[in-house]
Structure 1
C-alpha cells in the first residue's frame, strides 16, 4: 500500500513540476514541508530520495533545461509550526509548490493559506474527510490517495454485506490524540454508531510493546463481545 502511495506521489511530483514550468521559465523552487522524524511514513528521510530520482532521471525528458531547487523545512507534524514554516517558504524562499505537509493538523492551515499565495500543495496525507468534502476551502490541495472516509465506507459496506453486527474496534492509546489513528477510529465509530446503528465494543491498548501491553486481555474481552475485530495501528515497521 505504501509502495503504491510513493509511486502516485512520484507521478504527481512530475506532473506538478511540468505544470509549474509553464509559469516559471528556468528555475523551480520546491518547498519540502515534512517531519524530520523517520517514524512517519512520509518523513523527509523517505520522501527526499524519491524527489531526487524524479528530478534527476525523469524531469529532464519531460521539461528539459529546468533547474529545480529544494528548500526543506521540518513541519514537526504540528498545526503551529507547519504554517510558520510555510510562511517562511512563501515569503523568504519564494517557493513555487509545497510538497507536504503530511499530517492532517499540519496540512490544514497550509492548504487554507495556499490559494491566497497561489501555491499548489501536494500531500501524501490529508486523510481527514474534511479534505474530501471541503474542496472550496482547500482549492489548491492535491492528495495522492483517498481519505479515511473511503476506508471507513469500504469497511461499513463490507460489514453490511456480511451482516456483521457485533464488531470490536481496538486502537493503541499511546499518542492517540496526535496520531492518524485518532481520525480514522473516530470516523469509523461515527459511521458504525450513527449511520449504521451499531454498538461496537471499543478496546484501548495502552502500550505498543507486546511484552508489556494488555493486548492479550483486550483481545480476550473483544472475543466475548464481538465476532469481527478491527485494529487501528500506524507504523513504518509493519
Structure 2
C-alpha cells in the first residue's frame, strides 16, 4: 500500500502565511456534517490574475464568517507552473492531490485563462461542485452539471450583446475581433451565434496585422465588437480614423472585462480610454473614440461592497503582505465570496432536510433556486448553473473633455438595459449594420462595387449561421 494521504489546511488568521504555504494536520476520520472541506485551486502568487490566491483568500475568510452552523476548513494548492503562469495541467494534478489528501466536499478554482476542461471532467466524475469565478469553462450543462460559474466572463456577456443588437436593430453585419490568445472568446462565439447575428471572428495575431484587421472590418461589418489590450483598440481606432471609418457609419464596442480602459493608469486619466502615450496626436484618437462604446462588468457602489473592498485590502496586506488595490479585480474576489455563500446556504438547507454534503445534485438544485443580495449585487443562477451578471455600457458623453460616462446598466437577472443617458451618435442615429449599396450590389442603382479586395495574411474564422 502507498503512503497515507495527509490533510492540508490554510489558517486565514496566520499572519505569517504566504500564498504557497500549507499547514499539515494528521489524517482524521470523516468530517462531521457541520464541517465543510473546501479545496481551492488558484494561482498562488501572480497578482496579474484577478483571481490570484492572495486576493481571493481574504474573500473566502470573510465568507466563512456568515453561514450559521457550518465550519469551513480550506485546503489550498497553487496552479502556477515554475514560470508563474497558471497551468491547467498543474491544476488537474493538484486537484488529484487534494482529493487524496483532503477529500473535499466542494472545489473552488481553477482560475486559469484556459477553460481547463479536464478539471471539469474530474469534478463531474467525483460528483463535487466546482465553483468558478475566474476563467470561463464553457456551458456547464454541456461539460458537467457540477460546475457553477459566478464571474464576469460567463454567458451574461453575450446576453449584453444580444440586447444591444435588438435595441438598435443590428441583425446581419457584426464583426468580432479579438487578440490571439484570448481563448475565452472561442467559447463565447457559439453563444453569440445563438442570438442570430451573422458573426465573423478575426484573430489579430500581432499588432503588425491591425491594418489588415481594419480592412477586414471595412469589408465585412459595421457593428464591431473588440476584445484585447487597450493598445490594440487604440491602434485599430487610429487605423479606422485614417480610413474615414469614424464619421458615424460604424460603431466599435470594446468588451473590457476588467474595466482597465477606464481607470487612471500612467498615460491616461480615468474615464478617458483614448489617451495614449504612444500617440503624438491625442486629438485624433479622442475624435475616433466618439464612435466607441465600452462594456464593463458592473461594479457595485453600495456601502456593503465598499466595506468588502476595504476589508479585502486589509486582509490581503495582513495575511499575505500584498497591496491589493481597490479595482475591478476586487469584483472577482467578491464573486468568489458570493458563490461560496450561495453554496453554503444551499448546503445548510440540504442538511436541515436530512441530506448530506455529497447530495450534489440536490445542493445544485437549491443553488439554482436561491436569490440573495451578495456583496457584488443580486446573486442568481440560470439553468446552466451560470450567474446572471450585471454590466455597464459607457459612451463619450462630453465631447469637449472626452470623458466616458455610463449610459446604460444591463441587469443580468432581468435581461434588460436600464438607460441612464443618451448616446451621442455622430450622425444623430445608430449606424445601419447593412446599408444599401455597401455589401450587396445586386441593386442596379448601386453601380460598381467599391469593396476592398485582398485580405491575404489575415487569420480569420467564419462562423456559419
Residue pairs, 1:7-156, within 5 angstroms: 24-25=31-32, 27-36=35-44, 37-55=46-64, 57-59=65-67, 62-63=68-69, 66=71, 68-74=73-79, 76-103=85-112, 105-125=114-134, 127=136, 129-131=138-140, 133-134=141-142, 137-144=143-150, 148-156=154-162
Distance in 1 (CA, whole Å) between partners of 2:137 and 2:72 is 35
Measure, in 2, the Cα distance between the counterparts of 1:121 and 1:197.
34
TM-score by length of 1: 0.65
Which of residues 157, 177, 181 is equivalent to 2:181?
177
The CA distance in 1 between the partners of 2:125 and 2:69, in whole Å, is 27
Q: Any gaps of 5 or more consecutive residues in structure 2? A: 1-29, 200-219, 264-465
Tell me by how many angstroms 1:190 deviates: 4.4
- The structure with more helix, counted as a fraction of residues: 1
RMSD: 3.7
For 1:140 and 1:82, locate their aligned partners in 2 and report how far apart those are by CA, in whole Å.
17
C-alpha contact (below 8 Å) 2:79/2:87 kept by paired residues: no
Query: What's the CA shift string for 1:211-238, capped at 9, x where partnerless?
Result: xx62442342452694321113444744
Partner of 2:424: none
Shift of 1:177: 1.6
Larger radius of gyration: 2
Deviates more, 1:199-208 or 1:151-160: 199-208
SS in 1 for 2:98: helix
In structure 2, distance between residues paired with 1:206 and 1:232:
8
Matched positions, count: 202
Q: Is the 8 A contact 1:27 1:69 kept in 2?
A: no
1:114 Cα deviation from its structure 2 partner: 1.3
Q: Does 1:214 align with 2:220?
A: no
- Among 228, 232, 237, the residue aligned to 2:255: 232
Q: CA deviation at 1:97?
A: 1.6
Deviates more, 1:196-205 or 1:27-36: 196-205
Q: 1:200 aligns with which of 218, 221, 236?
A: 221
Distance 1:78 1:225 in 2: 43
- Secondary structure of residue in 2 paired with 1:102: coil
Are residues 105 and 24 of structure 1, via their aligned partners in 2, closer, same or farther at CA, if it must alter by over 3 Å?
same
- Taking a change above 3 Å as real, the CA distance of residues 148 and 71 of structure 1, as seen in their structure-2 partners, is closer
Partners of 1:158 and 1:204 in 2: CA distance? 14
Q: For residue 85 of structure 1, give the secondary structure of its aligned residue in structure 2.
A: helix
SS class of match (1:177):
coil
Q: Shift of the alpha carbon at 1:78? A: 2.8
Judge conservation of contact 1:205–1:214 (CA < 8 Å) in 2: no
Q: 1-side partners of 2:158 and 2:253: how far apart?
A: 11
Gaps of 5+ in 1: 1-22
CA distance in 2, matches of 1:189, 1:156: 8
Structure 1 distance, partners of 2:184, 2:167, is 27
Structure 1 contact 168–226 (Cα < 8 Å) conserved: no
1:117: Cα distance to partner?
1.9
State the alpha-carbon separation in 2 of the partners of residues 128 and 225 from structure 1. Answer: 37
Distance in 2 separating the partners of 1:139 and 1:191: 21
- How many angstroms does 1:28 deviate by? 3.4
TM-score (norm 2): 0.37
Deviation at 1:196, TM superposition (A): 2.4
Q: CA deviation at 1:38?
A: 1.6
Residues 32 and 114 of structure 1: is their aligned pair in 2 closer, same or farther, counting only changes over 3 Å?
A: same
Change over 3 Å in CA distance of 1:81–1:150 after alignment to 2: same
